């Protein structure tokens, strides 16, 4: 397995993220930048959100090269809860990289951000994401019906599975 690290995202990651996220095989991930400039704008907004304590996003490095992203969004009304999301380039799927990145971010969440609960939401049919959650030690708490809006497809609402870990 390659050496896995996470570091705060940088504007210079936009090109690489655009390449990864433009993959049509990302059928469960809602990010779909239209251009490198769109991705740069998203990264700028993300940096502002971090300064405001709303979310913290990291680049996943495999042997020093950007291969994905992982981040946590802080619950607006329950500041002790964070929701983790992640993506990995297709050629690295199934190698345990997302699981390792989630574990690295989890340590930051519990110890630096002082969260006491971390959640992972995924569409029920996303077996790969479910595998990441289970391997990282998250427990399935249930199915949340009609929670996530698919903005790409006229606002269709999707069910999600809720996995969580508490400190």
pLDDT in tens, 137-151: 999 999 999 988 876
Q: Percentage of residues in the chain with pLDDT exceeding 90?
A: 83
Domain residue ranges of the chain, discontinuous segments joined by +: 4-166
Q: Which CATH architecture has domain 4-166?
A: 3-Layer(aba) Sandwich (3.40)
- 3-class SS at 9? coil
Amino acid 144: pLDDT: 95
Nearest to 164 by CA among 90, 110, 98: 110
Higher local confidence (pLDDT), 138 or 28: 138
User: What length is written for the chain?
Assistant: 167
pTM of the model: 0.92
Sheet of 55-62: strand order equals 4-8, 55-62, 65-74, 81-88, 117-122, 156-166, 139-150
């Amino acid at each position: 397995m390659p050496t896995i690290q996470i570091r705060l995202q940088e504007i210079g990651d936009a090109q690489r993220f655009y390449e990864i996220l433009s993959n049509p095989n990302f059928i469960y991930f809602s990010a779909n930048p239209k251009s490198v400039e769109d991705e740069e704008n998203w990264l700028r907004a993300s940096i502002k959100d971090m300064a405001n304590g709303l979310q913290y996003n990291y680049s996943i490095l495999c042997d020093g090269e950007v291969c994905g992203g992982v981040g946590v969004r802080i619950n607006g009304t329950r500041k002790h809860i964070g929701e983790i999301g992640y993506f990995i380039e297709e050629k690295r799927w199934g190698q345990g990289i997302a699981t390792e990145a989630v574990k690295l971010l989890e340590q930051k969440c519990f110890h630096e951000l002082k969260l006491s609960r971390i959640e992972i939401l995924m569409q029920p049919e996303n077996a790969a994401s479910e595998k990441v959650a289970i391997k990282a030690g998250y427990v399935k708490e249930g199915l949340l019906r009609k929670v996530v809006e698919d903005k790409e497809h006229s606002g269709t609402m999707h069910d999600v599975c809720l996995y969580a870990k508490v400190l």
